[in-house]
Amino acid sequence: MLSQKTIDIVKSTAPILETHGVAITTYFYKTMFEAHPELLNIFNHANQSQGRQQTALANTVYAAAKHIDQLEVLLPAVKQIAHKHRSLAIKPEHYPIVGEYLLKAIKGVLGDGATDEVIAAWGEAYGVIAQVFIDVEKEMYDAAEQQPNGWKDFKEFYIDKKVEESSVITSFYLKAKDGSPAPAYLPGQYITIRTAIPGEEFLVNRQYSLSQAPGSNAFRISVKKEADHDPKGKVSNFLHDGLNEGDTIEVSAPAGDFYLEKGSRPVALIGGGVGVTPMMAMLGTIAAEEPSRKTVFIQAARNKEAHAFGSEAASLVSQLTDGKVFTAYEEKKNDSDVCDVTGYISKDFLNEVIDSNSICYVCGPVPFMRAVVQHLTALGFDAQDVKYEFFGPAMALQA
């Protein structure tokens, strides 16, 4: 239990953290990685360079300060982060390292404003918060290991098949080297892959959604080759160009709190770009287990060449008694390209095709998700009925 004095001091820093949070977390990552370079490749370098990781951590630290006397308010966010930590094999021994460099960052950025009393209070509060994460993650580690065909941390899989789905997306079918079947998972969850990349000193980790319904002996991940921006996707490019059928990678057990909930209510699955991957797992599950459930599948792609899973999605929707599929292309390269929306998905379009009683699942690039979530909110959908998944650190979607 934290003393009231500690609670008061930590809460008093919330306005400062709201203003200087990103500066603190940027300082934190820089100094921690300099001292512990072995931790660098746990994180996505693109998210680091774009500031997403720093912003997400700053938001978490600010929320912790604001709600230090009501930590239960943070539990949903804790569980979401803990899923990612378990999938990356973050362990209790990592938390003292994070705590040390977080306190140094607070002191480094705030200077005289970070008095000994403030640092001591934050040190005590961090210990309590870290223990919450450690306890939640232990339950997740135990569950992953104890489930049928489960395991702890990472396990060797080989690439059974590589299938090109579009001009930018390739699917990888992964099978366990020991011959055991893939464990059950919830449609929408992800796995972490860990592999060595030539020129990299340490193994590199990345998380990818499972893109087919559970029940197969293999996992399927479908990876976009990130080559449009600098830094380019180090792992995605290596998967596309450096690994072949028969090659071995390490895989974590499935994780994640974004998944299809069973029930009788209508469902809208809305995926943009490679964000369609968890939607494919959900759609496949509905076709296999709930074919009478009213379902709308909406997929946005840059153009026809980048449109993955078109035939597969249409086939799955055809198995439903009340299913519809819609496609949006940002641009049409040829007049013969057929789609339902040219340009961006609008609020009016969503209002026209989605049942107002639907549970909506959204995944894609942040600008896409922000627009879709704001449209759905404007249409009157409750926040609890609009569920979304970030590929990478969570960011605010509402204006």
290 is catalytic: no
| pLDDT-based confidence at residue 187 (cuts at 50, 70, 90) | very high
Could you say which of 126, 146, 166 is where a domain stops? 146
| 316/58: higher pLDDT | 316
Assigned domain for 287 exists: yes
Close Cβ partners of 282 (under 8 Å, ≥ 6 residues apart): 187, 188, 259, 260, 267, 269, 361
CATH number at residue 245: 2.40.30.10
Give the Cα separation of 313 and 297 in Å (integer): 8
Could you say which of 208, 224, 252 is where a domain stops? 252
Q: What single-letter amino acid sits at 169?
A: I
Assigned domain for 286 exists: yes
- What is the average per-residue pLDDT within 33-60? 78
Residue in the structure block whose two tokens are 């700053």: 58
Assigned domain for 395 exists: no
State which residues form the domain around 61.
Answer: 4-146
Q: Rounded to the nearest 5°, which phi and psi values hold at 215?
A: 120, -10
| pLDDT-based confidence at residue 75 (cuts at 50, 70, 90) | confident
Per annotation, catalytic residue among 29, 137, 185, 361 = 137
pLDDT of residue 49: 59
- Answer yes or no: are the C-beta atoms of 87 and 255 closer than 8 Å: yes
pLDDT of residue 200: 85
pLDDT of residue 399: 44
Assigned domain for 261 exists: no
Predicted model pTM: 0.92
pLDDT per position as a tens digit, 125-152: 999 999 999 999 999 999 999 999 999 9
Same domain, 119 and 13: yes
Decide if pLDDT at 158 tops 60: yes
Gyration radius (Cα) of the chain, Å: 22
Close Cβ partners of 141 (under 8 Å, ≥ 6 residues apart): 86, 152
Assigned domain for 60 exists: yes
Close Cβ partners of 271 (under 8 Å, ≥ 6 residues apart): 277, 278, 279, 298, 299, 300, 362, 363, 364
- What is the average per-residue pLDDT within 84-97? 94
- What is the average per-residue pLDDT within 278-289? 98
| pLDDT-based confidence at residue 252 (cuts at 50, 70, 90) | very high
Give the Cα separation of 6 and 392 in Å (integer): 32
Question: How many residues are there in the chain?
Answer: 399
Same domain, 282 and 186: no
Same domain, 142 and 160: no
| 152/232: higher pLDDT | 152
Same domain, 246 and 272: no
CA geometry: angle 230, 236, 241, nearest 5 deg = 105
Residues making up the binding site for FAD? 190, 206-209, 390-393
173 is catalytic: no
Q: What single-letter amino acid sits at 316?
A: L
Assigned domain for 284 exists: yes
CATH number at residue 374: 3.40.50.80
Tell me the average pLDDT of the chain: 92
- Answer yes or no: are the C-beta atoms of 185 and 173 closer than 8 Å: no
Close Cβ partners of 137 (under 8 Å, ≥ 6 residues apart): 82, 85, 86, 90
Give the Cα separation of 283 and 319 in Å (integer): 10
pLDDT-above-90 percentage for the chain: 80
Q: Rounded to the nearest 5°, which phi and psi values hold at 85?
A: -60, -45
Same domain, 216 and 232: yes
Handedness of CA 353, 356, 358, 362 (dihedral sign): positive
Residues making up the binding site? 85, 190, 206-209, 273-278, 390-393
Decide if pLDDT at 155 tops 60: yes
**Domains contained in the chain, number:** 3
Same domain, 140 and 173: no
Decide if pLDDT at 322 tops 70: yes
Same domain, 9 and 126: yes
- Answer yes or no: are the C-beta atoms of 151 and 145 closer than 8 Å: yes
pLDDT of residue 46: 58
Residue in the structure block whose two tokens are 């918060």: 129
- What is the average per-residue pLDDT within 72-84? 89
Same domain, 282 and 212: no
- What single string gives the DSSP state of each residue in 49-72? HTTHHHHHHHHHHHHHHHTTT-GG
Per annotation, catalytic residue among 27, 29, 62, 95 = 95
pLDDT-above-70 percentage for the chain: 95
pLDDT of residue 231: 61
Same domain, 42 and 120: yes
pLDDT per position as a tens digit, 387-399: 998 765 555 555 4
Q: What would the two tokens of residue 84 be?
A: 């990612």
Decide if pLDDT at 386 tops 90: yes
Assigned domain for 399 exists: no
| 56/275: higher pLDDT | 275
Same domain, 37 and 138: yes
Strand-by-strand arrangement of the 219-224 sheet = 204-209, 190-195, 248-252, 154-164, 169-176, 219-224
Same domain, 19 and 140: yes
Same domain, 110 and 12: yes
Assigned domain for 262 exists: no
Residues making up the binding site for NADP(+)? 273-278
pLDDT per position as a tens digit, 329-381: 999 888 888 999 999 999 999 999 999 999 999 999 989 999 999 999 999 99
pLDDT of residue 334: 84
Could you say which of 228, 252, 276 is where a domain stops? 252
- What is the average per-residue pLDDT within 204-223? 95
CATH number at residue 42: 1.10.490.10
